[in-house]
């Protein structure tokens, strides 16, 4: 057994007493009722279950496949699921989506939506990396391919995800080197 404390979507959670071999996706679904992270293949191939770890001290982001990564990996860490990227605008009180979520909706970059949480989380990490280290416009397409290449979509929605992310990166000031 393991005692687990962590931060999920900017909220401290725990302590939870959990089996030390519990996979993170099971913890999210069964202990904290966050079901936006989808279980796809169960062997880390499809990437539908990708979640984000944020290292607060370095302001860096990394993705993990939660179906093959145990909860012990995240003890005392800060993670984000697909539910944690939108923010409430303090002046209007309205929910504001992350720019990646917004462009995916505007470009209808999904079909059934099962793989969408993984694509969203991986794309947000890419977006944040571009904010910290802008890339040349000529490198955007190949960088997106390298970033999203391992994600599987049974509905063949790849083109829309790639196109939407490319549109966002190229149209957002500061993400590319001019």
* pLDDT reported for residue 92: 94
* pLDDT reported for residue 155: 84
Superfamily of domain 2-84: Beta-grasp domain (3.10.20.30)
Query: pTM to 2 decimals?
Result: 0.94
Per-residue pLDDT tens over the stretch 82-100: 999 999 999 999 999 999 9
Q: 87-171 maps to which CATH number?
A: 1.10.150.120
State percent of the chain over pLDDT 90. Answer: 90
Instruction: Give yes or no for residue 108 having a pLDDT over 90.
Output: yes
Q: Cα–Cα distance between 22 and 165 in angstroms, integer? A: 33
CA angle at 146 for the pair 142 and 149, rounded to the nearest 5° = 120
* pLDDT reported for residue 148: 95
Q: Which of the 8 DSSP states describes residue 177? A: -
Q: How far is residue 43 from each of residues 30, 122, 137, measured CA to CA in Å?
A: 19, 18, 35
Per-residue pLDDT tens over the stretch 39-84: 999 999 999 999 999 998 888 999 999 999 999 999 999 999 999 9
- Find the DSSP H helices in the chain: 24-30, 99-106, 116-132, 140-148, 158-171
Instruction: Give yes or no for residue 158 having a pLDDT over 90.
Output: no
* pLDDT reported for residue 149: 93
**What residue segments make up the domains of the chain, in order of their start?**
2-84, 87-171
């Amino acid at each position: 057994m393991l005692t687990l404390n962590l931060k999920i979507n900017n909220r401290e959670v725990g302590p939870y007493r959990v089996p030390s071999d519990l996979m993170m996706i099971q913890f999210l679904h069964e202990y904290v009722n966050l079901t936006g992270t989808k279980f796809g293949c169960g062997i880390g191939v499809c990437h539908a279950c990708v979640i984000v770890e944020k290292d607060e001290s370095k302001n860096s982001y990394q993705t993990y496949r939660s179906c093959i990564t145990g909860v012990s990996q995240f003890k005392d860490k800060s993670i984000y699921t697909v539910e944690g990227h939108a923010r409430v605008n303090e002046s209007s009180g309205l929910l504001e989506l992350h720019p990646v979520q917004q462009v995916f909706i505007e470009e209808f970059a999904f079909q059934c939506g099962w793989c969408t949480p993984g694509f969203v989380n991986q794309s947000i990490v890419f977006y944040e990396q571009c904010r910290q280290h802008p890339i040349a416009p000529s490198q955007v397409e190949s960088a997106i391919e390298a970033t999203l290449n391992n994600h599987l979509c049974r509905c063949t929605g790849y083109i829309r995800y790639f196109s939407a992310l490319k549109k966002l990166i190229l149209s957002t000031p500061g993400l590319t080197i001019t």
